[in-house]
Amino acid sequence: MKKTWIGISLIIIVALIVVLVIIQTGREPKDIEIGAILPLTGSSAQYGQWSKNGAELAVDEINRQGGIKGRKVKIIYEDSRTDAKEGVSALNNLSAIYKVQAIISESSGVVLAIAPVVEEKKIVQLNIGAVNPQIRKAGDYTFSNINDADIEAYEMAEYAYNKLGIRKLAILYATTSYGKGNRDAIKEKFKSIGGIIVADESFDENSGDFRTQIIKIRETAPDAIYVVAVTKDAALILRQARELGIKTQLLSATFFEGKDLLDIAGNAAEGTIYTSTVLNATSHRIQDFIANYRNKYGLDPEIYSATAYDAIHIYALAIGKVGYYGEEIKKYMYTIENYPGISGLTSFDVDGAVEKPILFKKVINGKFEYINN
């Protein structure tokens, strides 16, 4: 009888162990799968590719060092096509199929559309490229690793007014979430410090012909034109503006920079000034990042490569501390202060937003160069 009870006890113990293993396996898969909803096709595909490059570089480093507590990191990519509905569909796929607890994302319309869904599903969203100021209030599970439009636009407004002596500003912006956010921010700030908005023209992305808007702006004789457009559209705007005889100062923001801009705009880009985040090349860690990026891709990293790279390392830090559970990752994210990211020191405020130093760059002799503030 005693042997029988011992046998039954062993069976029960083994069964419990199996159940616990199954439960644990269900909660924490062998690989830590992080979602990435990026524009991998369409007009903004270059931004998605830059972000993907940075994210993959981070994954390589993390896995080479043993992963997160012995578990490999894997990124599951979904193509948003810069479309809000596609973004939500991508998130639902990542949640239903892969049970992801954390994602990286970009494009303002996509980030804002995803925000209420991640809130409901308790999945952390870390935005690495969208700048619409509304993201700041999008929910407790939405964080940003890049300055929003208010910060960049306010800095540009003050720089234009105080440093460049601009008094009459024209705005030419894309009718998108990021376009309207930047336009509203610089318009408000520039007027508040004494400037005058003499023209306020919009355009649809990928329309290709911006001459009607440019001619209207030319008639107002502005001291400068603030262009809010992705690289390819911005390049065509610059070229068409110069073809129409506009010689006034051209201004823009972080998303302006890209190889395509110089290829398409050519000399028309010369002298354009725009806001950017600094990659401090004097830091050994950043020097290593740049060298490793060049070695892997044969290219110099863009700012979105850096924000994506930082995002994956930040997730690795959080998951290593609290495990792969969305609610716990969210709580930990709010405690992060002065994380030494490649894209700058990172601290998340009560809205999950960051504020990183803004510097200015200028196209000089066909190169994107930092200039003194």
Domain spans, the chain: 32-147+281-356, 150-278+359-371
CB 55 within 8 A of CB 312: yes
Q: How does strand 367-371 pair with strand 358-364?
A: antiparallel
- CATH code for the part of the protein at 150-278+359-371: 3.40.50.2300
Q: What is the dihedral of CA 196, 199, 203, 206, to 10 degrees?
A: -80
Q: Which CATH superfamily is domain 32-147+281-356 in?
A: Response regulator (3.40.50.2300)
The confidence score (pLDDT) of residue 19 equals 45
pLDDT confidence band for 12 (50 / 70 / 90): low
Q: What is the distance between the alpha carbons of residues 200 and 22, in angstroms, rounded to a whole number?
A: 60
Q: Give the global pTM.
A: 0.81
Decide which of 331 and 258 is more confident: 331
Indicate if 150-278+359-371 has the same CATH topology as 32-147+281-356. yes
Mean pLDDT (whole number) for 171-185: 91
pLDDT confidence band for 10 (50 / 70 / 90): low
The confidence score (pLDDT) of residue 297 equals 96
Mean pLDDT (whole number) for 220-249: 95
Q: Work out the angle at residue 325's Cα, subtended by the Cα atoms of residues 321 and 327, and round it to the nearest 5 degrees.
A: 100
The confidence score (pLDDT) of residue 71 equals 96
**Selection from 24-28, 151-155, 227-231, 349-353 with the highest mean pLDDT:** 349-353
- What rounded mean pLDDT belongs to the chain? 90
Decide which of 49 and 178 is more confident: 49
**Selection from 18-27, 54-63, 124-133, 198-207 with the highest mean pLDDT:** 54-63
pLDDT, tens digit (0-9, with 9 covering 90-100), for 79-93: 999 999 999 999 999
- Does the structure show a pLDDT above 80 at 77? yes
Q: Which of 36-40, 96-100, 221-225, 300-304 has the lowest mean pLDDT?
A: 300-304
The confidence score (pLDDT) of residue 65 equals 95
Could you tell me what percent of the chain has a pLDDT over 70? 90
